[in-house]
Structure 1
């Protein structure tokens, strides 16, 4: 069993970390307290104030590139760690770490490219004889709170832009998955990042609140539940910029004439990837009646063939839920839907080791939890609708607004739906969980605030400064 100590200072308070599959203790992780948080922020404040200690852009980029090469050389070990601590199937964990490698490279390139612009001064006599332009500067200290479901790549999305921007960052990893966060920051330090520019502090929630509400923080990055995130945002100090990524209940519309043979494997992957523990997982499918029966049968056949079990086994496609309580909650929601009239066509039962059988429901009533809330489990519901407008109305009938999909053979109907679905991003003929790490990614309404994606996060972590000077 591994004992993971804090680099930033010792508290000698350790928390057992258990694997979600099997429950064995895989590590003891030292926990920060409020006094250590205060000492770290004091050191980072002094570090940021001393311009002589700031790294130039090209050195930050070189560190990020070296960290990417180190991560690439240890990809298999990092992926196995993701699978063991988070329960993500090994095949998907490998893909996550590979994305993290790309994210480090992307942050290096974007950190060099980010720039201001010339401000035209030709419009009035008062402006004449001046040259004006903007530059971009790091905002200051970053506090980042991360989530368990992508324990390596999500941390890359929060830490790598901070490094590229020149902002000291303190990150609280998810309590269930701190090892991948430690591993990433260790890679950055090995690659040459000086101590205190990136600090990992696992900590209980009450201590995390003292971090994110500290007035020395300039930027707060949060990935996790809306209840926690919005609650913390209400308590941050005046002037703190925030980026918040919460959950969703992603809708996918299947129109008449959609290519079901090509579409169904994508739907199933988008719905059951990481046991549905993805904020943009396919959850609510609205199918036109002419295709609904065939869609249900094709999806059912695919779901029945999914391999559920040990995430460290190469053949596993669906792993455990992160906690037993989550598996119990998912089962309660499925039972509620069935009792209310939903048809259970596949799954619907708990399994050993915190797993839940991949589940397909049909026509769950509109007021059930699987239709109105984020399941965050391996459950999908397919509902029949009469018209495309009815599908759009049903898709929009929740407080969430994140990613969505419209699947159709008609480009005009695709664009009609895409412009009317309430979402920050709409995929056409693909599942709702598609993402690459340079695209804008974020939710509207209760689903979030601001935009993720490495270039967008880097821009948010820097501030534009206007400089005006006389010019002949």
Structure 2
């Protein structure tokens, strides 16, 4: 990426808009200043809403094939500029470049899925004559755009999680106001540039950067906004839900995802997947593998092999092709992670590997025999930390998994399909993966959780349902 300092204005109504305040953006890895980014005021937010309102009827009346064509072109341009996009992610988020490339590739697919779904938004016929008095009536449903969508996104997937909000919004015919995470605004402005080149109507996509208490609060409370889609912490999600009144709200919140490893499985195969799930992007993933419950008959073997595999991971510069683990998103997150590790060790946990600090890099840390009441077990760690505990059965492990305020995804490795299906029935989560880690996600599947992991579902088809309204039509032939 060009290291020349860039200055980013707001993107409103199809053009760049200067504001009164700009804040520096620093690399999480080396603390170098990489940009100056506009910090929006409430007046700037109001301007963005006005621009989106002007675009609302344009997108609402735009034929599905034209909305699809815009999304297809976004995917094509992004694919052509994929290396540039990956370097932006590596610079602003410290995501190792090989994983940043993977995110960009998934983002291309997400916009392609959005384009496909734009062309098949439909309803259903209702047999009214199933009820007395419904004879000689034809009924069907249609789906209509909900209106202006506020999309509030996190730092950890600054392109793909944005795509999961912008893609279905545009597919459904809704203009979007995007408020990206404060640490990762460059990806959002890069998308705005691409969308403009792809033929996005002015005001169809607006990017407004700044503090959540200013920009986010103004968007959530504005009556012209009809839907809010948010990915972030449960605390902020609850606040959004309280303030959004009757708006449609989709919340993708926290998790402390776990996997159960039954006896008799291929330990080598499970370990490779589990290490990847625990430490990809420094564990800063909503469905990062945080808790592992292993049957007592293979527990010692699992820890030995898991630790050996973990120690093969390379720490370093996110732009280095060989780097597996780089800096956490902020110094405060490193400090918090260290405090949580210390708490677990004081409560009796064993340290099997890791727990060294190199600048803002925390080495992958493996804790064993962890007290379930400590934060590394019952809170969302969002760091390269994983705990491995011994269980006597899958049933016992399910009880530990369910003893959580979160419920996003869970994995179960077993050779007994009956045991796996019993776990499906008993696990209190939004998704269960048999013989895989909970970190698995492809972009068209329904994705979301229960409890404090959120409400609603993402995945293009399912997100479009969240960002549209159903209308019933009845024709009386009597």
TM-score (norm 2): 0.96
Find the aligned partners of 1:170 and 1:111 in 2 and give their Cα distance. 19
Return 78-87 or 202-211, whichever deviates more: 202-211
Whether 2:428 is the aligned partner of 1:445: answer no
Q: Would you say how many aligned residue pairs link Structure 1 and Structure 2?
A: 469
Q: Paired residue for 2:469?
A: 463
Q: What secondary structure, in the 3-state scheme, does the structure 2 residue paired with 1:307 have?
A: coil
Whether 2:173 is the aligned partner of 1:179: answer no
Q: Paired residue for 2:438?
A: 432
Contact map agreement 2:60 2:173 (CA 8 A) in 1: no
Find the aligned partners of 1:6 and 1:93 in 2 and give their Cα distance. 24
Whether 2:61 is the aligned partner of 1:72: answer no
Contact map agreement 1:71 1:187 (CA 8 A) in 2: yes
Contact map agreement 1:165 1:458 (CA 8 A) in 2: yes
Find the aligned partners of 2:119 and 2:111 in 1 and give their Cα distance. 13
Whether 2:151 is the aligned partner of 1:144: answer yes
Could you list the per-position Cα deviations for residues 273-328 of structure 1 after superposition, in whole angstroms to 9, with x for gaps in the alignment?
00000111111111111010000000000011100111111100111110011011
Q: Paired residue for 1:6?
A: 10
Q: Paired residue for 2:209?
A: 202
Contact map agreement 1:259 1:408 (CA 8 A) in 2: no
Q: What secondary structure, in the 3-state scheme, does the structure 1 residue paired with 2:418 have?
A: helix
Q: Paired residue for 1:318?
A: 325
In the alignment, which of 35, 56, 59 is matched to residue 27 of structure 1? 35
Q: Paired residue for 1:290?
A: 297
Find the aligned partners of 2:431 and 2:59 in 1 and give their Cα distance. 42
Q: What secondary structure, in the 3-state scheme, does the structure 1 residue paired with 2:361 have?
A: coil
Whether 2:47 is the aligned partner of 1:39: answer yes
Q: Paired residue for 1:395?
A: 401
Q: Paired residue for 2:334?
A: 327
Find the aligned partners of 2:54 and 2:352 in 1 and give their Cα distance. 60
Could you list the per-position Cα deviations for residues 242-291 of structure 1 after superposition, in whole angstroms to 9, with x for gaps in the alignment?
00001100111111101111111000000000000011111111111101
Find the aligned partners of 2:397 and 2:213 in 1 and give their Cα distance. 42
| 1:90 Cα deviation after fit | 0.7
Whether 2:17 is the aligned partner of 1:17: answer no
Contact map agreement 1:14 1:31 (CA 8 A) in 2: yes
Could you list the per-position Cα deviations for residues 10-35 of structure 1 after superposition, in whole angstroms to 9, with x for gaps in the alignment?
21311111110000011111121100
Find the aligned partners of 1:53 and 1:112 in 2 and give their Cα distance. 14
Q: 1:244 to 1:124 in 2, by over 3 A?
A: closer
Find the aligned partners of 2:218 and 2:365 in 1 and give their Cα distance. 40
Whether 2:416 is the aligned partner of 1:410: answer yes
Q: What secondary structure, in the 3-state scheme, does the structure 2 residue paired with 1:192 have?
A: coil
| 1:81 Cα deviation after fit | 0.7
Whether 2:265 is the aligned partner of 1:258: answer yes
Q: Paired residue for 1:368?
A: 374
Find the aligned partners of 1:419 and 1:91 in 2 and give their Cα distance. 37
| 1:129 Cα deviation after fit | 1.7
Find the aligned partners of 2:90 and 2:182 in 1 and give their Cα distance. 15
Find the aligned partners of 2:59 and 2:331 in 1 and give their Cα distance. 50
Q: Paired residue for 1:281?
A: 288
Q: How does 1:151-162 map to 2 (within 5 A)?
A: 151-162=158-169
| 1:388 Cα deviation after fit | 1.9
Could you list the per-position Cα deviations for residues 178-225 of structure 1 after superposition, in whole angstroms to 9, with x for gaps in the alignment?
111111122111100111011000011221201111111110000011
In the alignment, which of 240, 243, 249 is matched to residue 235 of structure 1? 243
| 1:53 Cα deviation after fit | 7.3
TM-score (norm 1): 0.97
Q: What secondary structure, in the 3-state scheme, does the structure 1 residue paired with 2:11 have?
A: coil
Q: 1:44 to 1:357 in 2, by over 3 A?
A: same
| 1:351 Cα deviation after fit | 1.6
Contact map agreement 2:55 2:201 (CA 8 A) in 1: no
Contact map agreement 1:19 1:87 (CA 8 A) in 2: yes
Could you list the per-position Cα deviations for residues 155-176 of structure 1 after superposition, in whole angstroms to 9, with x for gaps in the alignment?
0001011111111110100000
Q: 1:376 to 1:79 in 2, by over 3 A?
A: same
Q: What secondary structure, in the 3-state scheme, does the structure 2 residue paired with 1:374 have?
A: coil
Contact map agreement 1:331 1:350 (CA 8 A) in 2: no
Contact map agreement 2:60 2:145 (CA 8 A) in 1: no
Find the aligned partners of 2:59 and 2:402 in 1 and give their Cα distance. 52
Whether 2:121 is the aligned partner of 1:114: answer yes
Q: 1:466 to 1:323 in 2, by over 3 A?
A: same
Q: 1:102 to 1:52 in 2, by over 3 A?
A: closer
In the alignment, which of 343, 363, 377 is matched to residue 383 of structure 2? 377
- Unaligned stretches of 5+ residues in structure 2: none
